[in-house]
Chain A
Amino acid sequence: MRRTEGMIVRSIVCIKRVPDSEARIRISADGMSLDPSGVKFVMNPYDEFALEEALRLKEASGQGSVTAITVGPEEARETLRSALAMGADEGVLLRAEAAADGLVVARALADEIAAREYDLVLCGKQAIDGDNMQVPAMVAQMLGVPCATVVVELRVEGGVAKAKREIEGGHEVVEFDLPGVVAAQKGLNEPRYPSLKGIMAAKRKPLSEKDVTLSEPKLELVGLTPPPARPEPQIVGEGPDAVPELVRLLREEAKVL
């Protein structure tokens, strides 16, 4: 499936530490941020697809490298350790406070990536906290390289990436010459779990850290609120006998049929 003919792929994978998808989200007293107490943090699930793909590209050719980079707080070191345990060769923590503006994060990543040699930058299609779906395409534009977002299939042949990206009701087939950026969608692969051996090996892998100063945000968060309340739920009845009343309510009360 994944062929990397004549190609050593040096991948950079951008990852983010986010609240687990099963986590309940509570808002802090300031009304501006997430209350992190009791929240389990994990690697953004879409980043796992990106990392897995990078690892498979390296394994398919027997050569190349996988570098995981994150912009985040001290605690994001643990997320990088998870990436190293899955098989990444190196981790880079760009220490910074959270930014609500995707442009700011993309700039920090692009500056770091531009100083490195790479063939492919892989990201998750979006982080499940901010849900922006911005950073991968922004990074590509800033680096002046091509980009395919929402990718569910990837092949690298020679110096060309061929990707299938999910669009409404189908797929787009996208090609570009490396280097470039790919943003992973669920379905691209099945991410591995770190093995015990991988977890042990991760402790000896290089993990560098540096403070970065983020650029001034151009988008300001002015408030965070719980989602709007749903109307009072109503149990129409039990079993198929409740159906005529349900259909009546949908027509006459809700007016949606």
Chain B
Amino acid sequence: MADILAYAETRGGALRPVAAEVVATARTIADQMGGQVVAVVAGGPGSTGSAGDLGRFGADRVLVAESESFALYQPDAAVELLASIAGEASPGAILFPASAQGKDLAARLAARLDRPLASEVTEVEVEDGVPVVTRPMYGGKAYGRFRFLESPALISLRPNVFPATVNPRESEIVDLPASDVTARTRVVAVESAERGALDVREAPVVVAGGRGMGDPANWRLLEDLVAALGDDATLGASRAVVDAGWRPHSEQVGQTGKVVSPSLYFAVGISGAIQHLAGMRTAGVIVAVNKDAEAPIFSVANYGVVGDLFEVLPRLTEEIRAVRTTGG
């Protein structure tokens, strides 16, 4: 009998989409280990209201530390909060999203508790009452299976991999007292990118462009496709175009960029260098558009179109817009 702690990440007092993935996965593990799911929310004003939603994904209890100071990520206070909860609850595992915040916090907590951490996990099983995890390594060129030798097992889950399965529980909301931990690391502000908050790692649909796009100005063709695909879609880029300064680093997909697992990935004008393939081969469905029929990208693509992307893209945007507006 071991409970599972689930760190439910918030921003601006609202749960982030990954929070549901983490809590739902905690539910699956807790059912196998015979324990309860305890979700932990550390957030700004409004968090308590959002926290109620976590029962829907299987949280038995939701511990909420709501305060003005938690409106921004406060690593030192968050580490101490989780350390004290872990000290009382003796959980079998502590789950985090493998987000910028989740990975930062998980590593600090692992060192604080002197307990093992597996990052960017894509599969969790329970064997003999102990979590065994699978995670991509070498940018996705190999997968490692790891067994935890001490408890609690700290695990960060790759976004977009684990389903946010609805599994309702009558959850109890518990307010936690305010933290009095002095911040060594002070997060003083958040600056949002112009394009909004959909990150290439968390977007269900990614439209990525490579050198075949020819010129940064041609990205409007990809932006049109993103717009046609709707709110779930965002832009990605190959290393070549990021290194050329055409696109920001935050969009780079590949071993030295972001490893992504969207349900749909469009690779446009990307030949498919080995480090790029490593970064997107776990996508659900891959569509490649390239003029070179021999391009390696076609070896991982579910569907390939060989041709001039300047002819194919506008037609694709038009057809997708048509099927989406008719709702058919």
Q: Select B319's contact among A172, A236, A243, beta carbons within 8 Å.
A: A243
A183 smallest CB distance to B (angstroms): 9
Q: Does A24 contact B (CB under 8 A)?
A: yes
Q: Which residues of B contact A239 (CB under 8 A)?
A: 305-308, 311-312
A169 to B234, CA, bound (A): 11
Q: Does B3 contact A (CB under 8 A)?
A: no
Which residues B248-300 have CB closer than 8 A to chain A? 248-250, 252, 254-257, 259, 263-264, 273-275, 278, 281-282, 284-287, 293, 298-300
Would A223 and B274 count as touching, CB distance under 8 A?
no
Q: What per-residue 1/0 map shows which CB atoms of A233-246 lie under 8 Å from chain B?
A: 11111111011101
| Closest B residue to A143 using CB positions | B111
Q: Select A240's contact among B132, B264, B301, B315, beta carbons within 8 Å.
A: B315
Also in contact, A141 and B79, with CB within 8 A (given A103-B117, A221-B146): yes
Q: Is the interface of A mostly helix, strand, loop or mixed?
A: mixed
Would A187 and B249 count as touching, CB distance under 8 A?
yes
Interface-facing stretch out of B44-52, B163-171, B179-187: B179-187
Q: Does A100 contact B (CB under 8 A)?
A: yes
Q: Does B60 contact A (CB under 8 A)?
A: no
Also in contact, A168 and B100, with CB within 8 A (given A141-B108, A227-B281): yes
Q: Which residues of A contact B (CB under 8 A)?
A: 19, 21-25, 27, 34, 45-46, 100-103, 106, 128-142, 145-150, 152, 164-177, 180, 185-187, 217-228, 230-231, 233-240, 242-244, 246-247, 249-251, 254, 256-257
Q: Which residues of B contact A (CB under 8 A)?
A: 16, 72-73, 75-76, 79, 99-101, 103-104, 106-108, 110-112, 114-120, 132, 135-150, 184-193, 195-199, 201-202, 205, 242, 248-250, 252, 254-257, 259, 263-264, 273-275, 278, 281-282, 284-287, 293, 298-308, 311-312, 314-316, 319-320, 323-324
What 7 pairs across the A-B complex have the smallest Cβ distances?
A169-B197, A168-B199, A141-B111, A137-B107, A218-B116, A219-B116, A239-B307
Other than the given A130-B137, A152-B249, A219-B147, 18 more pairs (CB < 8 A) read A21-B255, A22-B274, A103-B110, A133-B107, A134-B110, A136-B107, A140-B108, A146-B184, A165-B100, A166-B250, A175-B186, A177-B184, A218-B116, A221-B144, A222-B132, A223-B145, A236-B304, A242-B307
